[in-house]
Amino acid sequence: MPNPTATELVEIEINGEKFAGEQGSTILEIARENGIEIPKLCHMDQLEPTGACRMCLVELVDSGKLVTSCTHPAEDGMKVETDNERIHRSRKLNLELLLSNNTEVVDCDSDETRCEFSKLLKQYDVEVESYAGEKRNHENIEDNPFFKLDHDKCILCGRCVRACEEIRGRSAIDFVGRGFDTKIAPPLDRSLTEGTCQFCGQCVDACPTGALTSKMRIEKGDPTQVEKTSTVCTYCGVGCRMNVYTKDGEVVDVAPDPEAPANDIRICSKGRFGFDFVNRDDRLKQPLIKEKDEFREASWDEALDLVSEKLSEIKENHGSNAIAGLSSATCTNEENYLFQKFMRATVGTNGVDHCARLCHASTVAGLVRAFGSGAMTNSIGEIKDADTILITGSNTTESHPVIGLEVKKAVENGADLIVVDPREIDIAKEDATMYLRQNSGSDVAWIMGMIRVILEEGLWDEKFVEARTENFEEMREAAEEFTPDRVEELTGIDKKKLRKAARLYANADRGSILFAMGITQHSHGTDNVLAIANLAMVTGNVGKESTGVNPLRGQNNVQGACDLGALPNVYSGYQNVDLEENQKKFEDLWDVDLDPNPGLTVVEMIREAEKGNVNGMYIMGENPMVSDPDLGHVEKGLENLDFLVVQDIFMTETAEYADVILPAASFLETSGTFTNTERRVQHFDRALEPKGNSRPDWEIISQVSTRMGYPMKYGSADEITDEIADVTPIYTGITAERVANKQGLQWPCVTGDCTGTKYLHKGQFSRGLGKFHALHYREPAELPDGDYPFTLTTGRMYYHFHTRSMTGRSQGLDELVPEAYMEINPADAEALEVDSGDLVRVSSRRGEIEIKAKISDRVPSETVFIPFHFAEAAANRLTNSVLDPIAKIPELKVSAVNLEKVG
């Protein structure tokens, strides 16, 4: 934003001293900018000011009027006093009146929001029993598993109501009743679980009195006696920075860190209330060794000796490539770097991968080919300033709720929103300018069809295409086959809607594309991503703010795990293993001979294990017995291994198959860095000591490696952070010291004094010229037929995450959604005589499950949707493991299934 000119400034006098501020600023804003504190209660910076509490009163010297500084605009020449005897008396009276209906006050002095009222009472010497007489007597709200509303502490300031409406757009609570009977409650005084509440905790975070309090805090005794640590959420890829509050070695509360760079003061229900799993008694606390199909506890020395002995034996007898390793998108950058280093330098194989293979492998493959970099091009904070947003293959408000709020903010600011998805998801119903429902797996057709319309109607950015791209004519020729009529035939999208959507996006000055696994998890996922890149380049929507191609990463550190080389074809920083100069570089750095051949991917590892070609596996923080496709074959592959070691925090479905289980510390019991979806590397500190006898992953890896003859001697995670900076060009400037602040740094950061990169490809693509690709339509590998007449698509839902190893052990989240379900269209349900809650047998060519039906018009007829989180009705028993030939990602989004009502 440019600096204001003299005509845009006002000068006011505060307490006898002159200050300048921007025209349009309030008195409160100018005062705070200059270090002058004015008390407030109903005011929050993120909310529209109301002046309702009248605590921010100041006196206008010339008129003698008392005005609310949060609402009163500063005027040139104005003289203001912020504190005198009259103001003090008025504020004290306001506090006494606010207190007059309260029977209880939280007594605390910390910097938490919940202490604001208590601190003001002390500051103004207000006696709690100032007023006698009748008090309000409302029944407290405890109708949910997460928080309690204690009306005896509520002062009706309205901050919770406004936060819910203005920040989250939910209006789940309001003022109910009139006069003396007024209270805060859901509309019509219903239960919170019956309305629009998503249990994000924004109301709790806004409350200045402690009337709204997390139940975990209450259960642990005095809710004010807690310790605070700033950390980073370990659920989705947004990378929300948050404060975790602990007491007696357990998590008791979580709240957004006000200094957070990606999420501001927002987090979702999982981030706010989903970390009680850390406290669970069923955490793995001691190494376990399987003997005669039963696990027994072992010492660390015994377990580590056995792991190193068995892996060394397999390496000697069958070769290094008979061992495969799975790293983890929930582990730190340091742990992922160390794991791939262990597999390559210690074991001697490039057979290392992780779950990015199952979600965004095609993103990396496609965007590297088109742009030269496989990451999100722009930043989360830019989304709100886009004037057109295209969302496809992303249920943004459920899978990435904070990014969903940025999209909603853009729409409020006047942006057009186009949503293309087989399911009519909430953001399509609530916010979209246009919703287009395509047939599952037909994405290349509608994207190339939009490009054809844009070219045909002369809406493309000729200057950008000519100056900054190559291979345009080949792409243009390929687009000719995607006429609106053919696109309608292939995709089911009305040709008029296709044209309108193409025009909306093409006419945008700042067009942003958001996508996720609905685009990537296909046998032609790389083509889908290349098509999106084509669309962005043909309209010039790359390389500038609030535009770009923005894959939304599914797990908290899936970006970092890729960046740090937990992939079979690249070292850290996407340095190809089959390039001789890279191989020599890492051989010199690590003082070892390295394999020049790319290794096996996730699905290939399991296939080779089933064949007997992979004899041993080391799995850290992954759960392929729920997350991988065609689970019947995963089971056979794991059973066929000679040796399996699993390193995790819980006894997962995969750990059950292990020969040795190594108990790992949770993210709150270690330190390190995560890289979020916008390429932001953030440091976090340890908040708790490791549970039982568990250890941080990086320590365990180091100890196994040392026992196998390749010593790893690290004194801290920071030492590994610095090694990463030394060997990874895009992380060169991201040292432990430089990333220790709360803002972090966005890669590429290639020098020791860089400030990071907000958006990519400014002026030039990472590969030089952006490359268009000529694409042709390919059907999904498996289509419905007479035996399997329905299309199954899978995905995520709001209250659970990945394989539920964490959210399934979070009491409140699991209480809200305790079991699996299948969305089925009303017409299909009627034909099968199925009601909501009925049990349905779903079968494919690979397996079958029984699951409860949930009738919904979200899905089209002849399509069903199943969240993949639930092991007891695992959608991936049904899914197809056929691979994209380039990215080796399986086709999880389209499978043919049959439905039968059970009973």
Q: What is the CATH number of the domain that holds 868?
A: 2.40.40.20
Q: Establish if 368 belongs to a structural domain.
A: no
Q: Are strands 680-684 and 672-675 parallel, antiparallel or unpaired?
A: antiparallel
Preceding peptide of 748 cis, ω within 30°: yes
Q: Are residues 599 and 714 in the same domain?
A: yes
Nearest of 410, 597, 625, 601 to residue 508 by alpha carbon: 410
What CATH number should be reported for the domain holding residue 254?
3.30.70.20
Q: Are residues 248 and 303 in the same domain?
A: no
What CATH number should be reported for the domain holding residue 58?
3.10.20.740
The answer to whether residues 778 and 531 touch, using CB atoms and an 8 Å cutoff, is no
Query: Which ranges of 169-299 would DSSP assign to H, the alpha helix?
Result: 202-206, 215-219, 269-273
Q: How many domains are contained in the chain?
A: 5
Q: Establish if 419 belongs to a structural domain.
A: yes
Last residue of some domain: 83, 104, 138?
83
Domain that holds residue 889: 790-901
What CATH number should be reported for the domain holding residue 570?
3.40.50.740
Q: Which residues of the chain have pLDDT under 70?
A: 1-7, 129-133, 221-223
Which residues partner with 850 through β-bridges?
A: 841
Tokens of 83: 């504190």
585-590-591-597 Cα dihedral, nearest 10 degrees: -60
3-class DSSP state for residue 101?
A: coil
Q: Are residues 390 and 352 in the same domain?
A: no
Q: Are residues 437 and 482 in the same domain?
A: yes
| Distance from C-alpha of 811 to C-alpha of 145, rounded to nearest angstrom | 8
Name the one residue in this structure whose structure tokens are 């605070």: 228
pLDDT given at position 4: 43
pLDDT given at position 131: 63
| Distance from C-alpha of 869 to C-alpha of 871, rounded to nearest angstrom | 7
| Distance from C-alpha of 330 to C-alpha of 261, rounded to nearest angstrom | 20
What φ, ψ does residue 255 adopt, rounded to 5°? -150, 155
Q: Are residues 177 and 125 in the same domain?
A: yes
Q: Establish if 345 belongs to a structural domain.
A: yes
What CATH number should be reported for the domain holding residue 443?
3.40.228.10
The answer to whether residues 839 and 902 touch, using CB atoms and an 8 Å cutoff, is yes
Q: Establish if 740 belongs to a structural domain.
A: no
The answer to whether residues 594 and 582 touch, using CB atoms and an 8 Å cutoff, is no
| Those residues with Cβ within 8 angstroms of residue 80's Cβ, 6 or more apart along the chain or in another chain | 12, 13, 14, 15, 27, 31, 58, 59, 60, 61, 69
pLDDT given at position 105: 86
Amino acid at 883: L
Distance from the first to the final alpha carbon of the chain: 65
Q: Establish if 292 belongs to a structural domain.
A: no
What is the residue-wise DSSP string for 678-713? TSEEEEE---SPPSTT-B-HHHHHHHHHHHTT----
pLDDT given at position 773: 98
Q: Are residues 155 and 271 in the same domain?
A: yes
Q: Is 559 exposed, middle or buried (0-12, 13-18, 19+ CB in 10 A)?
A: buried
pLDDT given at position 106: 86
| Distance from C-alpha of 796 to C-alpha of 512, rounded to nearest angstrom | 23
Long-range contacts, 651-656 (Cβ 8 Å, 24+): 651/282, 651/284, 652/623, 652/625, 652/626, 652/803, 652/805, 653/623, 653/625, 653/626, 653/803, 653/871, 654/619, 654/622, 654/623, 654/624, 654/625, 654/626, 655/284, 656/625
Neighbours of 852 (CB within 10 A): 16
Q: Are residues 59 and 207 in the same domain?
A: no
Last residue of some domain: 63, 83, 103?
83
DSSP, res 55: T
| Distance from C-alpha of 46 to C-alpha of 363, rounded to nearest angstrom | 34
Q: Are residues 256 and 314 in the same domain?
A: no
DSSP, res 26: B
Q: Establish if 390 belongs to a structural domain.
A: yes
| Those residues with Cβ within 8 angstroms of residue 3's Cβ, 6 or more apart along the chain or in another chain | none
Q: Which helix (H) or strand (E) holds 844?
A: none
Last residue of some domain: 551, 577, 612?
551
pTM: 0.95
Q: Are residues 614 and 539 in the same domain?
A: no
Q: Are residues 322 and 453 in the same domain?
A: no
pLDDT given at position 5: 46
Name the one residue in this structure whose structure tokens are 């994405």: 443
| Distance from C-alpha of 781 to C-alpha of 195, rounded to nearest angstrom | 41
Q: Are strands 660-663 and 643-648 parallel, antiparallel or unpaired?
A: parallel
Tokens of 544: 């500038």
Q: Which helix (H) or strand (E) holds 840?
A: strand 839-843
Q: Establish if 575 belongs to a structural domain.
A: yes
Q: Are residues 275 and 212 in the same domain?
A: yes
Q: Establish if 765 belongs to a structural domain.
A: no
Nearest of 768, 770, 725 to residue 749 by alpha carbon: 725
Q: Are residues 353 and 405 in the same domain?
A: no
Nearest of 388, 343, 318, 853 to residue 572 by alpha carbon: 343
